[in-house]
């Protein structure tokens, strides 16, 4: 991993269109608007789905 990247930038590189599709389905099922930022919501989804790479846990 490139140590020059911020965690959110590294997360963006890891985030794929396949994961994004699953995330959009997940977010649509959540009750009400989320108070989480987009980055935090995606991280929460990935954690719940067991998709976070080891370096992001």
Q: Please tell me the distance from the alpha carbon of residue 44 to that of residue 8, in angstroms, as a whole number.
A: 13
pLDDT over threshold 80, residue 7: no
**Residue 46 CA to chain centroid, in angstroms?**
5
Does residue 46 form part of some domain? Answer: yes
Q: How many domains does the chain have?
A: 1
Does residue 31 form part of some domain? Answer: no
Does residue 30 form part of some domain? Answer: no
**pLDDT, tens digit (0-9, with 9 covering 90-100), for 22-54:** 888 888 888 877 677 888 888 888 888 887 766
Does residue 43 form part of some domain? Answer: yes
**Residue 4 CA to chain centroid, in angstroms?**
20
Does residue 51 form part of some domain? Answer: yes
Does residue 1 form part of some domain? Answer: no
Q: What is the pTM of this model?
A: 0.54
Give residue 13's domain range: 7-25+36-56
């Amino acid at each position: 991993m490139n140590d020059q990247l911020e965690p959110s930038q590294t997360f963006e590189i890891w985030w794929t269109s396949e994961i994004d599709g699953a995330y959009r389905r997940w977010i649509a099922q959540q009750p009400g608007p989320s108070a989480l930022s987009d980055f935090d919501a995606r991280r929460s989804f990935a954690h719940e789905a067991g998709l976070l790479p080891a370096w992001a846990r």
